Amino acid sequence: MNQPTPNQSPVQALVNRLESYLVTQNYTVDTLRHYRHVWRQLACYADEKGIVTADAEWMTQFLREHYGISDGNSLTRTQKTYYRAAGMLCDFQRYGYVLRRNHTKREIFPRRYQCIFEAAEKYCAQNRIAERTRRQFSVHLRRFVSFLESRNLRIEAIEAAHMREYFLTLEPLAKTTVAFDLYVLRSVLPLLFADGVASSDLSLLCPSVRVPARAKIPSAYSPEDIQAILDAVDRENPQGKRDYAILLLAARLGLRVGDIRELRFENIRWDEAEIRFIQSKTGNEIVLPLSHELGWALIDYVKNGRPITDSKVIFVRHIAPYDAFGKNNNLNSIISKYFKAANIYVPPGKRHGMHVFRHSLASSMLANGTPLPVVSEALGHSETNTTARYLKIAVEQLRSCALEVSE
């Protein structure tokens, strides 16, 4: 890295190098202007305190003193910008580059509750819980921690009455959500007791909610609705070209969101007219046909819409830095945008995320008389029983199988 000039402090020199780096990452002038305001104040603060390196400890102190950003406070949009600016400086000091921004909505809880999340990590590690499920653990625990914080409850002070009060807050939620919420608590709370954090094993107070296997009916939409969504995409702009190719992969092939996010150029076998990849959920390889419709959509995006980037995945974000979507990104903002543009009515309680394309494809195939094993293979299911749950939404298919009742 470049050495600071005689009239330039080490932190200011770091700021200058960071800004030059972000320019190469296609950050806009307006974005840099917002960050520059914070960097300038951080550099001045460092000069006053005689600080020569970007360190999270003193920058946290600065954010607390100047912007009121502290543990226990939700961040405003402006505060998030300040927080991000300081984090960028710290990242660049440590790694020489900036870590990806996490778009997942987060809350900052008091440190007295951090042991709950640490216990969850410990449980997940001991039981080899998948990364996707680990994230769900965190989501459900945030609901519990928010409850504790709203009542200013210390973990060691939680009693049976408090747990019953928390259970009442779960009543409006779906049965499957409540069941998983309680499962998470039964998994984590014993560890808090074993570590001496909680005064008793609160998991004994958490009931078990039984949800019958495959009780939930998948949400599906008609072929006409699916086509209307595809037709609503503006394919004249780069982002529209990307979104159209993504939606086609989900609608025509039933790809899962994770597999679409991770799809790479080497997965497209142009000569064989097929797409071949390892499924992120099952770990099994799947080979799917590459139709002319899908092939030309991919070509259109790659040649005329995809930003210049070193990313190995096909689909990237269209804001700087031009990189892959985050692992927590379920692409719901894309599908929601085109549901609205197509004026698709969504009844209360019916889902409308990216996965409905997969459900709708399965329903359509079954309704058209496609054998269940063929549907199972097309969707990449490990077992036919997994596919069988889509029979619940293939109403016409079920009717054709009905037997007449003899008099």
Strands 274-278, 285-289: pairing is antiparallel
Annotated catalytic residue 37: no
Catalytic residue among 166, 221, 244, 390: 390
Please identify which of the residues 281, 312, 340, 350 carries the catalytic annotation.
281
Question: Active site includes 390?
Answer: yes
Q: Which long-range contacts (CB under 8 A, 24 or more apart) does 156-161 make?
A: 156/197, 156/198, 156/199, 157/199, 158/198, 158/199, 158/202, 160/205
The single residue of 241, 256, 317, 352 carrying the catalytic annotation is 256
Distance between CA atoms of residues 274 and 101, nearest Å? 34
Taking alpha carbons only, the member of 175, 113, 184, 174 closest to residue 145 is 113
Q: Are 216 and 390 in contact (CB under 8 A)?
A: no
Whether the CB-CB separation of 184 and 141 falls below 8 Å is answered with yes
> Does residue 66 have an active-site annotation?
no
| 224-230: Cβ within 8 A, 24+ apart | 225/342, 225/344, 225/360, 226/251, 226/357, 226/360, 228/342, 228/343, 228/344, 229/335, 229/338, 229/339, 229/342, 229/344, 230/338
Whether 358 sits among the annotated catalytic residues: the reply is yes
Helical spans, DSSP H, in 288-383: 292-304, 332-341, 355-367, 372-379
Contact present, 124 and 167 (Cβ < 8 Å): no
For residues 285 and 277, the answer to whether their CB atoms sit within 8 Å is yes
The one catalytic residue in 317, 352, 355, 359 is 355
Q: Exposure string (b/e) for 365-379, b if CB count within 10 Å is 16 or more?
A: bbbeeeebeebbebb
Catalytic site includes residue 244: no
Work out the number of other CB atoms within 10 angstroms of the CB of residue 158.
20
Catalytic residue among 140, 317, 358, 359: 358
Catalytic residue among 241, 261, 306, 381: 381
3-state SS, residue 308: coil
* Residues involved in catalysis: 256, 281, 355, 358, 381, 390
